Amino acid sequence: MAEMLERYKADLESLAARDRLRALAPRAGLDFASNDYLALAESRELAEAAAAALARGVPVGAGGSRLLRGNHPEHEALELEAARYFHAESALFFGAGFSANEALLATLPQREDCIFHDTLIHASAHDGMRLSRAQRASFAHNDSGALEGAIGSWRAGGAQGRAWIVVESLYSMDGDAAPLDELMALADRHEAFLIVDEAHATGVLGPGGRGLAASFEGRENVISVHTCGKALGVSGALVCLASPLREFLLNRCRNFIFATAPSPLVAACVRASLKIVESAEDRREALRARVALAGRELQRLCNVAPSGSQLQPVIVGADALAMSLAARMRARGYDIRAIRPPTVPEGTARLRLSITLHASEAQIECMIGDLAQELAKAGA
């Protein structure tokens, strides 16, 4: 019987030999790793919102799928408030951003359609595309010209279906933004749908923290995914889209139909978070100041070009070097993690620095000074 596990052990040993073995690590040190950009996850405001929801009888569990008895007034209230906040026609709440992306791409594009996706799109989108009946094609990162060429070639081959364009508004491993104006214009020219994953922009970027695609919300060919577990500090995801598409998901989306509904208590907390974030310009301004400082110091001390966002990669190349640098920075008291292939392309292992309100400007300066010393020691 022991032989049944050998292939799994061999795979793990292979990962370890290449410095690619993953393992859980506890929280330790100053936060430069999380996506809790506005420091809401452990905030007094959300703790009080959770306590108030429990006090008024909001249950922890839903008890079933939304189409059975799991549909709670908190879910419906959240979806109405989210549609108002994001200026969308309607919204649908999922238990996680990964599930939402997978569900959209597995369900909405049809057999005669084609999904055109940025090469750096999230793993959840790839999983959804594998489940889809539609064709799929990639285009070079943030290259709208390459995308237009790909759609043109598809049409030239006699395709009659609908094109679906899938991008992130802010990419989590490089911290760079998509050319959304160009992509929206292209989608309109080709009568295509544009799906924008706003995971790392929601709450932080755009007017009122509504994301980088805020000016396009409400269009019938735009679908946005707003993750609730990053800057909003809770969990789940809100998909904003035209009402007929929402109804189609209710009837055809297996991830929604057959899954136990998200916790009503979580929905109540997301409602509270949306209210906080809508008027949190002071938090966003403080974060912008920290991002600008980090960019200046990384350029000055580490010769690292600033990304311009709260997500800053320090690319070192080799997997082992990235792991070693991350360990040494953790020993200095900073929670910094290494990112290796296949999450990022081969030869681009990196430290992923996340700038949040958990670290003060002085602490950010100290961290970058210490990082510069470690990079110099490593010859990186």
The catalytic position among 102, 148, 197, 319 is: 197
The catalytic position among 117, 190, 226, 230 is: 230
The catalytic position among 31, 35, 36, 374 is: 35
Asked about 235 being catalytic, the answer comes back as no
Sheet holding 163-168, edge to edge: 90-94, 237-241, 222-227, 193-197, 163-168, 114-118, 135-139
The catalytic position among 168, 174, 217, 374 is: 168
| All structural domains of the chain with their residue ranges | 27-40+281-378, 58-278
Asked about 35 being catalytic, the answer comes back as yes
**Which class is domain 27-40+281-378?**
alpha beta
pLDDT digits (tens, 9 = 90+) for 58-92: 999 999 999 999 999 999 999 999 999 999 999 99
Mean pLDDT of the chain: 96
**Reported confidence tier of residue 25, pLDDT bands at 50, 70, 90:** confident
Strands 114-118 and 135-139: parallel
Asked about 200 being catalytic, the answer comes back as yes
The catalytic position among 172, 221, 224, 263 is: 172
Which numeric CATH code is attached to 58-278?
A: 3.40.640.10
pLDDT digits (tens, 9 = 90+) for 172-185: 999 999 999 999 99
pLDDT digits (tens, 9 = 90+) for 208-259: 999 999 999 999 999 999 999 999 999 999 999 999 999 999 999 999 999 9
DSSP state, residue 174: T
pLDDT digits (tens, 9 = 90+) for 280-311: 999 999 999 999 999 999 999 999 999 999 99
What is the predicted pLDDT for the residue at 41?
97
pTM recorded for the entire structure:
0.94
The catalytic position among 200, 226, 255, 335 is: 200
Asked about 172 being catalytic, the answer comes back as yes
pLDDT digits (tens, 9 = 90+) for 138-197: 999 999 999 999 999 999 999 999 999 999 999 999 999 999 999 999 999 999 999 999
What is the predicted pLDDT for the residue at 2?
66
Measured CA to CA, the distance from residue 296 to residue 177 in angstroms comes to: 19
Average pLDDT over residues 343-361: 96
Q: Are 290 and 38 in contact (CB under 8 A)?
A: no
What is the predicted pLDDT for the residue at 1?
61
Percentage, residues of the chain above pLDDT 70: 99
